[in-house]
Structure 1
Amino acid sequence: MGGGAWKRGGSSCRPTTTAVGEPVVLPTVTVEDVRRVGLPPSTANLQPAGGHVVLNVPVNVYAQAAPVTRQVEVLGFPVTIRATPEAFTWTFGDGGALGPTADPGAPYPAMSTTHTYTRPGTYPITLTTTYSAEYAIAGLPFQPVDGTVDVSAPAATVTAHEGTTVLVR
């Protein structure tokens, strides 16, 4: 979990009452609260694996991501935060980018999310996942969190090499 104390982001009256009939004021979870709780980066996968690619041959990239649930306490209330990966953005280190796209890609032969290097060199590839979130306080229905949270995976490095096509029989 990240640092920092929880702050009241707003409140609203719900039909819930205390034992003496007073309304209970429930906290609101903000996008900053979700960032503080922390969300995992998606796993970035590259094909071919191994960090070496050939110029002018598409590199297949795909993300592995799943919804995340966190249990926290806010101002004395039990809170469930549920975050869902909504979009993926790839940067390829050569000025190229892909996304944001709702398509996480898939292993070969799908090839729906690719990038082709045209110059030799070593390049960092970064995957950023955009999450939407919702929260439920003390078992009440889920409420949406305004805004999204971006989480970047550590960069993977690829080296693009010139190659020669050879047909063999």
Structure 2
Amino acid sequence: MPCEEVFAGLCYGDGRDKPADPAPGIPSVTWSDLAVFRPQPAIQYMQPDGWMVVGLPTNFVAVIERHVVAGTLLGSPADVRFTPQAYRWRYGDGESARLGTTGASWEALGLREFDATPTSHVYRASGTYVIELDVEYTAEYRFAGGSWRAMSGIIVLPANDLIATAGEAVTVLVDRDCGRAPAGPGC
């Protein structure tokens, strides 16, 4: 989804400054009003760290959770709750993916290194790539601990960029299990 409107440097995906449906006695709030509340940016990392093997899966992970930012909204104490909904990776090789999961490390998934994951990507050519991640958030607000009110649309915030190099792998035959004999030939 392209950035259609920007408030305070953040992209709002629906491009409309449409107020949320207020309850009686609750003021109408627009995305412009929420511009002073900034979501936490995600942090992305990759496995292996900083390099890829051409033809094998590289695992990408975003670290971010739902969070609340406190402040003043329309002159009253308020909270805004940001919930990550989707993760848009651009892998630097012309391919991209929009996923509904942050991913997890190979270890947390119970997988071996270079196994495919829901957030992995396979590079087909050697080179240096910049991997970009944008996170799409929904937002809700409340005044003085009241009920949460949802905003329509999303806010998009970039995470940190990664720069990594993909190269060809040279395989080595080993004499025995390197886990049991780490000093063995080829380990």
TM-score computed with the length of structure 1 as normaliser: 0.80
CA drift at 1:10: 7.9
Unmatched 5+ stretches in structure 1: 4-8, 15-23
CA contact (8 A) 1:120 1:161 kept: yes
- Larger strand proportion, structure 1 or 2? 1
CA drift at 1:120: 0.8
Classify 1:164/1:133 alpha carbon distance in 2 versus 1 (closer, same or farther; 3 Å).
same
Unmatched 5+ stretches in structure 2: 1-7, 10-18, 110-116, 176-187
Q: Quick one: distance in 2 between partners of 1:75 and 1:40?
A: 22
Q: Quick one: distance in 1 between partners of 2:123 and 2:54?
A: 5
User: Which amino acid in the other structure matches residue 76 of structure 1?
Assistant: G
Which residue matches 2:83?
84
CA contact (8 A) 1:31 1:149 kept: no
Which residue matches 1:117?
123
1:10-69 CA-to-partner distances (Å, cap 9, x unmatched) read 88562xxxxxxxxx5x433323444442112211010001x1221111100111111121
Q: Quick one: distance in 1 between partners of 2:156 and 2:70?
A: 20
Q: Quick one: distance in 2 between partners of 1:39 and 1:73?
A: 15
Q: Quick one: distance in 2 between partners of 1:58 and 1:166?
A: 19
CA contact (8 A) 1:30 1:146 kept: no
Which residue matches 2:145?
139
Q: Quick one: distance in 2 between partners of 1:85 and 1:10?
A: 19
Q: Quick one: distance in 1 between partners of 2:20 and 2:81?
A: 19
Q: Quick one: distance in 1 between partners of 2:124 and 2:35?
A: 37
Q: Give me the identity figure in percent.
A: 32
Q: Quick one: distance in 2 between partners of 1:154 and 1:80?
A: 26
Of the candidates 108, 112, 136, which is equivalent to residue 130 of structure 1?
Answer: 136
Aligned-residue CA RMSD (Å): 2.4
Which residue matches 1:18?
none
Which residue matches 1:104?
102
Q: Quick one: distance in 2 between partners of 1:80 and 1:168?
A: 58
Which residue matches 1:47?
47
CA contact (8 A) 1:11 1:27 kept: no
CA drift at 1:166: 2.0
1:83-131 CA-to-partner distances (Å, cap 9, x unmatched) read 11111111100011121x2111110053221011111110000111111
